[in-house]
Structure 1
Amino acid sequence: MSEVKTIETEQKERIAGILQGAVDPHVHSGPSIAPRAVDHLELAQIYSKAGFAAMVTKDHDYSGVMCARMIRDHYADLSTQVLSGIVLNNVVGGINPYAVEHTAAMDGRIVWLPTLAAENHLKWEKSSGWAHPASTQKIRAAKAVSLFDGGKLRPEVVDLLDVMAATGMALASGHIHVSETKIVFAEARKRGVERLIFTHPEDIVGASMDDTREIADMGAYVEHSLAFFLEGSKFRTRKNEDLKAFIDLVGAERTILCSDLGQTGTLSPLEGFQRGVATCIELGYSDAQIRAMVSTNAADVIGLAA
C-alpha cells in the first residue's frame, strides 16, 4: 500500500512540475451570460497556486481585456498573468476591425473568428443538439457572420487581417469550417500575420487529419481542447488514442493543449490540465514534449515574454 501511495505521489509531483509555467490560451471563466463555475479572478488565483504563467480568457459574447487589465492592476501578487482577446460574433458587430484595434490597444492577445455566429457552427448546431446555454432566456439566437461575398473574402475580413498584421495578435480560426480556415489563413500569411491558431480540429469545424496537417504546414499551431478528450468531461467526444493521433500528426512542437473549460457541471480548468498531462504521460510523451504543448507553444503564439 505504501508503495502504491509513493507511486501516486510521484505521479502528482511529476504532473505539478510539468505544469510550472503552463499557459491556458483558451478558457471559459466568467462572468458570462452562460453559466460558469469560476470567474477570471478565482481562476487566476487557482492557476497562480499551481504555477501557471498565463491564462487567456475567452467569452463568446464580449472582449475580456478590461477585466484582465483590472485584475492585473489590482492583484499584482498573482503569478499568473491574466490576458484576453475578442471573439468576432454578433455582439461585437461580427467582423469588426475597430473592435479588434481597441482590443489590441488594451493588450489583447488573440482574435477568434466567429464561433457561435459562424455559418458552419449554426449548421453544426442543428445536428448536434447543442445550443447556447443562455440563448432562450436572455439573448436572441445568433445570426450568421459571413466571411465571404461571391466567393471572395469580404473587405472587412481583409481589413481585419491587416489590423492583425499591424498589431501582432494571434488569429484563431474559431468555429468556421476548415475549408474557410485554409483560405483565411493563406490570405493572413500573405498580409503578414505571423501568429495563427487552428481551433480544435477534433470537433465542430469538419477537419480531417489531412486538413489539420495542411494547416499546420502553413505555420499554424494546432490547438486541441482537452474538454473534448478527457474522461469526466461532459464535452468528451474523443478518446485518448485520438489525441495521440492528432499530436503525432504534426508533432508536439506544433501542438497546443488548452482546457476550453470553466463551464458548470464538468471538470475545472485545472483538473483538465492535470488529467491532460496524466493522459499525455500515459500515451508515452516525454516531460519536455508535454511542457511544449501546455506551456511554451502557447506562450510563443500569444507573444508572452520569456
Structure 2
Amino acid sequence: MDRRNFIKAAGLASGAIFLSNRLSGTTLNPTENPHKPVLHNGVLNGVCDLHIHAAPDIKERTVNELELCRTAKETGYKAVMFKSNVWSCHDRAYIVRQALPGFACFGSLVMNLAFGERVNIHTAKQALNTSGNLCRCIWMPTQDASYPPLAEAGHTGKTILVADTAGKILPEVVQVMELCAEADIIFATGHSSPDESLAMARTAKEIGLKRFVITHANSRIWKLTHDQIRQAVDLGAWIEYCYLPRLWGPGTGLPNMERQTKEEFLSYIRLVPERSFVSTDLGSAGLPDPVTGMGMCIEEMASSDVPQQEIAMLVRKNPAWLLNLTE
C-alpha cells in the first residue's frame, strides 16, 4: 500500500472510531492515536488553520512543518499558517512551498525576547521583506508578554510591554500596526491582556488596519467576556477562538490546564461568526496533531447543530480572507 492510501485508510478508520465514540456516548481520549489525521469524507476541504505549532521548535511537537503540510494538502486544506513562540517561521514556509508546489503554506513572526526587549520594528520590516512575502501575521509578545497573570503562573524574567502604565499603546507597537496595514497582513494581539487587546483594537481602527485579530479570545487568562468581544467587533476586530482548550487537561500533554466545556466553546463561536474564525493552536506533544484536532472540532460543531454556513465562515471563508487568499 502506498503512503497516500495508507494515510487515507488510517484516517478513515480513525474517523470511524471517533464517530462510534460520539454515538455511544464515550469520551474520546485526546491523546489516543495522536498522529492519525481524522478524515471525514471531505469535511476538511478548504480549511485554513492560522495557528499551528510544529517542529523545528524548542519544545517537543507532534509533527514537523513539512509533514504537517503534506497531510493538510492530502486532506483538502486550503492553507495553513505556522506560529513559533521563539523563532521566525515565514522563511521556512518558503522552503516548504518548494517541496509542495501549489499548497498555501504561510509563516508568521512573534515579538518575543528572541528579537529584543521591546517590540522590534526592524525585525518586522525584515520579516515583510523576506523571500516569498509569506509572513502573513505579526503577533505581539506571547510567552514574554508583560501581563500579571503570566507571572502568577510561574513566568519569570524579562517581559515585553505593549502599553504604558496609563494603558496607552506604545509607539513601536503602533508602528508595527502601520507596517501590517501597509503590507495588508494580520496583526495579532498575542498574549496581551483583554484590556490591552481592546486598546489595540481602538488604535487599529484609528490607523485603518483591516486585518486586526484578537488572539484565542476563549482561552484561559486571555479570555474576553462576551461584551468585550462585541466591543472589539464594533471596533473592527476579528476574533480568534482556539480548539486547544477543548482538548487539554488531565491525561494530556498539558495536564494542569482546565478543559473548556463544549457549551462554553459553543457560546463563544456563536457570538459573531461573521467576524470570527477557529484555529486549533495545536502541535503540543501529548495532544492530537493539528489536522486530527481540526477534524474533531468541525465534527463537534456539526453535531452541536452549528449551521454549516457558520462552520464554513469559521474555518474556511474568514481565515482565508485574513490570509488575503482571494481565489
Relative to 1, partners in 2 of residues 1:33 and 1:109: Cα closer, same or farther, differing over 3 Å?
same
Contact 2:70 2:100 in 1 (8 A): no
**For residue 28 of structure 2, what is the aligned residue in structure 1?**
none
Contact 2:83 2:89 in 1 (8 A): yes
Relative to 1, partners in 2 of residues 1:154 and 1:296: Cα closer, same or farther, differing over 3 Å?
same
Question: CA separation in 1, counterparts of 2:247 and 2:311?
Answer: 16
**For residue 225 of structure 1, what is the aligned residue in structure 2?**
242
Shift of residue 150 of structure 1?
4.7
Q: TM-score, normalised by structure 2?
A: 0.81
Structure 1 residue ranges without an equivalent (≥5): 132-140
Question: CA separation in 1, counterparts of 2:80 and 2:277?
Answer: 13
Q: Deviation per CA, 1:52-108, whole angstroms, max 9, x where unpaired?
A: 0111000001110110001112331xx531101101111112411211122122321
Relative to 1, partners in 2 of residues 1:85 and 1:217: Cα closer, same or farther, differing over 3 Å?
same
- The match for 1:118 among 121, 127, 145 is 145
Contact 2:38 2:296 in 1 (8 A): no
Identity %: 25
Shift of residue 142 of structure 1?
4.9
Question: CA separation in 2, counterparts of 1:48 and 1:68?
Answer: 14
**For residue 248 of structure 1, what is the aligned residue in structure 2?**
270
Shift of residue 200 of structure 1?
1.1
- The match for 2:295 among 252, 274, 278 is 274
Relative to 1, partners in 2 of residues 1:158 and 1:255: Cα closer, same or farther, differing over 3 Å?
closer
Contact 1:19 1:291 in 2 (8 A): no
Aligned pairs (5 A) from 1:133-212: 142-151=157-166, 152-202=168-218, 203-212=220-229
Q: Please give the secondary structure, in 2, of the residue aligned with 1:83.
A: strand
Amino acid at match of 1:119: S
Contact 1:230 1:236 in 2 (8 A): no
Amino acid at match of 1:278: E
Relative to 1, partners in 2 of residues 1:225 and 1:298: Cα closer, same or farther, differing over 3 Å?
same
Relative to 1, partners in 2 of residues 1:96 and 1:241: Cα closer, same or farther, differing over 3 Å?
same
Q: Does 1:82 align with 2:105?
A: yes
Question: CA separation in 1, counterparts of 2:258 and 2:43?
Answer: 24
Relative to 1, partners in 2 of residues 1:165 and 1:231: Cα closer, same or farther, differing over 3 Å?
closer
* Stretches (4+) displaced over 3 A: 11-16, 125-129, 230-236
**For residue 137 of structure 1, what is the aligned residue in structure 2?**
none
Relative to 1, partners in 2 of residues 1:159 and 1:231: Cα closer, same or farther, differing over 3 Å?
closer
Question: CA separation in 1, counterparts of 2:42 and 2:100?
Answer: 24
Question: CA separation in 1, counterparts of 2:258 and 2:283?
Answer: 14
Q: Deviation per CA, 1:24-64, whole angstroms, max 9, x where unpaired?
A: 10000110011111110010011111110111000001110
**For residue 295 of structure 1, what is the aligned residue in structure 2?**
316
Q: Please give the secondary structure, in 1, of the residue aligned with 2:260.
A: coil
**For residue 304 of structure 2, what is the aligned residue in structure 1?**
283
Relative to 1, partners in 2 of residues 1:35 and 1:14: Cα closer, same or farther, differing over 3 Å?
closer
Amino acid at match of 2:240: E
Question: CA separation in 1, counterparts of 2:122 and 2:42?
Answer: 41
Tell me the C-alpha RMSD between the 2 structures: 2.5
